[in-house]
Chain A
């Protein structure tokens, strides 16, 4: 980890950033053999409130990237789907972005910008659905004092491949909370990354994922504390069930020498619901100054707690229902952070379905 390095070479799988990813299943996104379509599927689902615009424009990237797929996306097109929330605009209802139909024979390269003006407040929910090959460069610009909750829902169908960087640039006293939900797709690889460019910022990167047989879901954070007095909190929870289900969680947090007064904590918990599944979990904290408030990490991977199941069953609840309750309970604290009951219920139902599909093997 540490300072970003420039490496635009095609990954071989030996690089740290790619060592877990099944490159052969990326449909050529990583080595340039994918066929790019010019489709642009991201749409605003409802009419937008005053002070909010969603337009296509040519924009320079907010921040450099050392990810080869991000570089390919940027060289493919300067056009960006830009959701802008004007300064001092407070949007109370969530803004929904969604996807029109994708395709599996060609890849979509998508550049997206979400920008909040000074003291703007908004919740944005992105619904990533359909069967598609999608590579996305999502950049989030938070002006001083702004506050964004960004919910991204990876509800793809089973053959989809999605690789993305969700990169937030956090200015003075801005607040960013992301809830990343990954429950569908063949391969999903998301880089939720954050850089603080002025003091006083506060970031929560939250996430849940549920991988069943054969699915590969990777979430690779990078939080760059380059300035003083910023706060970051990472909490990702995952469940796995079925042969070949594989999840990867990497939590890279860098506290640079200048970042005095940093307060950071990262947590990843995984629930292995069957044999044959694999959860990799690698917290990685690099600290270049001792003048901080706190820095910690924790990672746990476990199976069903027999005592919990016994307790529930001793009250007449059947084994399958007890398991469902425990899994729902496990995800509950983070799913609740979505803050929209319709979406929360849909995600919980999806999780129930995934668990049921994994069925008798768990």
Chain B
């Protein structure tokens, strides 16, 4: 059982117009097996929360804490956070020219497991993960995210989620840009990872559509850099009906 604890998290970025505070004190606790949907309008700071937890250098932590089973996440380098069990499925996965998917996955698995996975079982693992996400075997030879369609990028992210077996995953708008079929396939991948590894999930989304496939235990409404309302799955239904207007005007 793992616990990711976010307390009073304040984050700012440097822009052309000076320092801008984006997160204004976020409190959130996620336990293994739980799925927390974070919903909110564009620009509310949802992605900043995701990238700050993962350690993107663009964001400056100005206050608060993030711990995973008591260990100070904010004190860790980016790779140490992954080794501690955190995973970020990115909204815009980055192209890495000249680095094949298979080389990338094996390097990542080697780093996370502390030893190179045995070739025989590894090939089967990757093949299985790709098949489960309806990905063509030729995918492994392509360069990471280079020339991938939006849907392929998201499948590749979720394939990593299944292969790398983190304790806590942050899914940053994994649903954006997916058609219904792709959304279903990707969601099934997330659900498999949850079942297999008792994964804790922070599911960041703008829309309620993905919540038909990945059932949240908790729904948090995010606006203006903080959580403004919390509830169960029924809160998503309210958002579906009313939108974010109530929260934006607050």
A interface, CB within 8 angstroms of B? 305-308, 310-319, 321-322, 325-326, 328-333
Among A311, A316, A317, residue most surrounded by chain B Cβ atoms (within 10 Å): A316
Give 7 nearest A-B pairs by CB, closest first: A329-B98, A332-B98, A316-B82, A315-B108, A313-B78, A329-B99, A311-B94
Q: Residue of B at shortest CB range from A318? A: B79
Instruction: Provide the bound-state CA to CA distance between A305 and B88, in Å.
Output: 19
| A–B Cβ pairs within 8 angstroms, 9 of them | A306-B57, A308-B94, A308-B96, A311-B93, A311-B96, A314-B54, A321-B111, A326-B99, A329-B97
Judging by beta carbons under 8 Å apart, are B77 and A312 in contact?
Answer: no
- Residue B45 at the chain A interface, CB threshold 8 Å: no
- Residue B90 at the chain A interface, CB threshold 8 Å: yes
A270 CB to nearest chain B CB (Å)? 15
Interface string of B84-113 (1 = CB under 8 A from A): 000110100111111100011001100110
Instruction: Provide the bound-state CA to CA distance between A36 and B82, in Å.
Output: 59
Residues of B25-49 at the interface with A, using a CB-CB cut-off of 8 Å, are none
Q: Residue of A at shortest CB range from B90? A: A311
- Residue B187 at the chain A interface, CB threshold 8 Å: no
A325-B107, A331-B98, A333-B98 as given contacts; A313 in contact with B82, CB under 8 Å? yes
A319-B77, A325-B107, A329-B143 as given contacts; A314 in contact with B88, CB under 8 Å? yes
Judging by beta carbons under 8 Å apart, are A312 and B104 in contact?
Answer: yes
B63 CB to nearest chain A CB (Å)? 23
Q: Residue of A at shortest CB range from B86? A: A314
Among B54, B88, B107, B112, residue most surrounded by chain A Cβ atoms (within 10 Å): B107
Q: Residue of B at shortest CB range from A309? A: B78
- Residue B160 at the chain A interface, CB threshold 8 Å: yes
B87 CB to nearest chain A CB (Å)? 8
CB-contact partner of A316 in B96, B108, B144, under 8 A = B108
- Residue B56 at the chain A interface, CB threshold 8 Å: yes
What residues of B have a CB within 8 angstroms of the CB of A317 in the complex? Answer: 79, 107-108, 111
Judging by beta carbons under 8 Å apart, are B111 and A318 in contact?
Answer: yes
CB-contact partner of B77 in A313, A329, A331, A333, under 8 A = A313
What residues of A have a CB within 8 angstroms of the CB of B79 in the complex? Answer: 313-314, 316-319, 322
Judging by beta carbons under 8 Å apart, are B164 and A316 in contact?
Answer: yes
Instruction: Provide the bound-state CA to CA distance between A329 and B144, in Å.
Output: 10
Instruction: Provide the bound-state CA to CA distance between A326 and B98, in Å.
Output: 8
A334 CB to nearest chain B CB (Å)? 9
Judging by beta carbons under 8 Å apart, are B55 and A314 in contact?
Answer: yes
CB-contact partner of A328 in B82, B99, B144, B164, under 8 A = B99
A310-B56, A321-B107 as given contacts; A315 in contact with B164, CB under 8 Å? yes
What residues of B have a CB within 8 angstroms of the CB of A312 in the complex? Answer: 96, 104, 107-108
Instruction: Provide the bound-state CA to CA distance between A333 and B100, in Å.
Output: 11
- Residue B83 at the chain A interface, CB threshold 8 Å: yes
Q: Residue of B at shortest CB range from A334? A: B98
Judging by beta carbons under 8 Å apart, are A325 and B104 in contact?
Answer: yes
Instruction: Provide the bound-state CA to CA distance between A330 and B144, in Å.
Output: 12
What residues of A have a CB within 8 angstroms of the CB of B107 in the complex? Answer: 312, 317, 321, 325
